[in-house]
């Protein structure tokens, strides 16, 4: 690793990109949340002791702090889940999707297969695409070197170009040509392509993939259902190209000897986990200055609040509510800004690493 500074850049870039993955995994369920959180049987009991609950979570009336239902058979929601929505005690989500909420069934329907398809295709495509390009490049370089070695070296200190014209060689030129021919003869073109040229190409593929995925990832946080999920397939295909490339880089024979592959992977995993694991801490930081601190009014229908007169005639009746709640755009833009930082910074660092590998290959008298 000491001789190949691009490996450190790749590791840092992967840690930053992995941090974006942590953000996406940790906050996707929060962002695409429904309008209400329903009380379940595992939820803590209502903190208001004045309410009578026949079944935990089920209800007939919404919460009313001024009414006392003790000793009655009326099912009234408590203060923790104050609204009776479809006979279930519910509370408003902190950040409902686009301030209107998304049905949890819709989220589960698409998130159960979209990440799997997009990420799997991206990982497989990254491996096949990089190896294909590297093989084509190595074969091209080998043909160029073969033609050069056959046509450029004449006899008795003279050199012949591709047109057949001889010209005199300076002493240092003779040495350089001789060394190049010897080096070319000892190289396997495929092995050469999968090592030296591969470092440069793999980093470039990872960088370009992240930059292409950047606008698609941002779109998923602004599009309506179901487009917000379908575009994730495209972002997964191009955005997940990086991981297979980076693992190939840190295990490449040009970077580590065969007996040091495991320590190389361990160091790589340590760096990316250390960086990526702390990225979720950026969301509260961005929320502090992203704006949208004012509350918004959310309108919905739920069961009427309980009053003592309702004991005589128990009927379920829905009424309209206008309730102040957090503006979901605060979380939305915080996630978008952090993901922009992760994808953009990772893409730039990967391209910087590709340049570092290029100069490394040039220093080793190879072409990239």
Predicted pLDDT of residue 333: 93
Predicted pLDDT of residue 166: 43
| Predicted TM-score of the model (pTM) | 0.76
Question: For residues 202 and 86, is the Cβ–Cβ distance under 8 A?
Answer: no
Predicted pLDDT of residue 292: 86
Q: What is the CB-side half-sphere exposure of residue 349 using CA atoms within 13 A?
A: 21
Predicted pLDDT of residue 186: 41
Q: How far does CA 99 lie from the centroid of its chain?
A: 24
Q: Among 248, 214, 242, which Cα is nearest to 336's?
A: 214
Residue 43, pLDDT above cutoff 80: no
Q: Which residue's entry shows tokens 């910074």?
A: 345
Q: pLDDT tens, 79-133?
A: 888 999 888 889 999 899 998 888 888 888 888 888 788 888 877 877 777 777 7
Q: Residue 305: beta bridge partners?
A: 62
Question: What do you get for the CA distance between the two ends of the chain, in Å?
Answer: 19
Residue 11, pLDDT above cutoff 80: yes
Residue 134, pLDDT above cutoff 80: no
Predicted pLDDT of residue 197: 66
C-alpha to C-alpha distances, 24 to 79, 185, 336, 339, 343, nearest whole angstrom: 32, 49, 10, 8, 12
Structure tokens at 242: 């990086």
Residue 325, pLDDT above cutoff 50: yes
Structure tokens at 65: 């702090």
């Amino acid at each position: 690793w000491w001789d190949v500074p691009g490996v450190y850049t790749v590791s840092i870039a992967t840690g930053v990109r992995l941090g974006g993955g942590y953000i996406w995994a940790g906050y996707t369920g929060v962002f695409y949340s429904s309008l209400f959180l329903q009380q379940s049987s595992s939820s803590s009991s209502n903190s208001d002791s004045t309410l009578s609950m026949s079944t935990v979570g089920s209800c007939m009336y919404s919460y009313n702090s001024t009414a006392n239902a003790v000793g009655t058979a009326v099912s009234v929601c408590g203060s923790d889940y104050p609204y009776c929505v479809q006979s279930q005690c519910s509370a408003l989500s902190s950040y409902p999707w686009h301030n209107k909420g998304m049905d949890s069934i819709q989220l589960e329907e698409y998130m159960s297969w979209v990440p799997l398809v997009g990420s799997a295709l991206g990982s497989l495509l990254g491996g096949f695409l990089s190896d294909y390009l590297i093989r084509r490049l190595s074969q091209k370089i080998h043909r160029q070197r073969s033609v050069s070695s056959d046509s450029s070296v004449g006899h008795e200190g003279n050199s012949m170009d591709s047109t057949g014209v001889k010209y005199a060689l300076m002493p240092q030129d003779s040495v350089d040509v001789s060394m190049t021919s010897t080096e070319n003869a000892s190289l396997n073109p495929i092995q050469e392509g999968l090592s030296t040229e591969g470092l440069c190409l793999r980093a470039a593929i990872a960088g370009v993939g992240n930059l292409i995925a950047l606008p698609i990832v941002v779109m998923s946080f602004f599009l309506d259902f179901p487009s917000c999920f379908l575009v994730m397939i495209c972002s997964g295909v191009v955005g997940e190209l990086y991981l297979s490339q980076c693992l190939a880089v840190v295990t490449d024979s040009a970077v580590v000897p065969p007996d040091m592959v495991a320590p190389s992977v361990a160091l790589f995993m340590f760096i990316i986990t250390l960086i990526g694991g702390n990225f979720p801490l950026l969301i509260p930081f961005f929320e502090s200055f992203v704006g949208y601190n004012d509350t918004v009014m959310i309108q919905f229908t739920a069961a009427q609040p309980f009053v003592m007169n309702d004991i005589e005639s128990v009927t379920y009746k829905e009424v309209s509510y206008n309730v102040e709640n957090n503006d979901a755009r605060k979380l939305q833009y915080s996630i978008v800004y952090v993901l922009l930082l992760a994808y953009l910074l990772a893409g730039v660092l990967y391209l910087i690493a590709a340049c570092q590998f290029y100069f490394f290959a040039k220093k080793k008298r190879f072409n990239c």
